Copies of this chain bind each other. A is one copy, B any other.
Amino acid sequence: MEDTEKYPRQGLIMVVCAPSGTGKSTLISRLREEISNFGFSISYTTRAPRGQERDGREYHFVSRDKFIAMRSRGEFAEWAEVHGNFYGTAIKPIHDMLGEGKDILFDIDVQGALQLRKAFPNGVFVYLLPPSKVELERRLRGRGTDSEETIVKRMDNALGELKQAHEFDYWIVNDDLGVAFEQLKAVYYAGCTKPGLRPEMVADMINTWRDDV
């Protein structure tokens, strides 16, 4: 479905946020299966590698000093501290991938998404919604993995995140998974036609209009 690339486009940044239990992981996996053009952004972290994790594959494992130095040089598009460890997305490798025409899909929380939005205004920012509070709670309980306390906490977090849903470009309600997936694909393919991804195309046409025969 890509056009024939006389004017190759830059990669698209697609960011998907959703309250826990909305079905985001399923939808993102299906999108990665269907669209081969997504590269992976490898985050930096100060936490220690676990099990089979290897530096440069799951994460770039760095010291706290190095992370803080990078952060103070403004090298992160977004960063956060979780349970005492830092996590961050470096800007330069993202720009390199975009320049090669690779798209990047971010599965991230709302705070990270809003930081990415500032660094990458050409991205598309999608907020996935549960059909209702009742249905979200039903799905969380249905997973059978969370304690009552965790479920209450997830529902509270969901409420907090919903309050920032208006910052996003698209709202997709995951009521029927198939419908939500088609909508997510449409947002991706539409995003690929944004002018910012081919900044020179029209200017080049105009510049050569008089002498192009």
Binding site for B on A (CB under 8 A): 1-4, 6-7, 129, 131-134, 159, 162-163, 165-166, 168-173, 175-176, 179-180, 182-183, 185-195, 198, 201-202, 205-206, 208-209, 212-213
Contacts and interface: CB of A to CB of B under 8 A. Distances in A.
Contacts of A134: 212-213
A195 B168 contact: yes
A173 to B, nearest CB: 5
A4 B176 contact: yes
A2 B173 CA distance: 10
Contacts of A4: 131, 173, 175-176, 179
Nearest to A203: B166
A167 B16 CA distance: 26
Given A185-B186, A189-B182, A212-B132, A205 B162 contact: yes
Contacts of A190: 170, 183, 186-187, 189-191
Given A194-B169, A194-B170, A6 B175 contact: yes
A187 B176 contact: no
A133 B213 CA distance: 8
B171 A201 contact: yes
A190 B132 CA distance: 21
A132 B191 CA distance: 22
A8 to B, nearest CB: 12
Nearest to A136: B205
Contacts of A129: 201-202, 205
Nearest to A130: B205
B170 A193 contact: yes
A2 B159 CA distance: 25
A211 B206 CA distance: 58
In order of increasing CB-CB distance, the 7 nearest A-B pairs are: A186-B189, A190-B190, A186-B186, A187-B190, A170-B193, A186-B190, A133-B212
A59 to B, nearest CB: 32
19 contacts: A1-B179, A3-B173, A6-B175, A7-B173, A132-B205, A159-B206, A159-B209, A163-B206, A168-B195, A169-B195, A170-B194, A171-B194, A171-B202, A182-B189, A183-B189, A186-B189, A186-B190, A187-B190, A190-B191
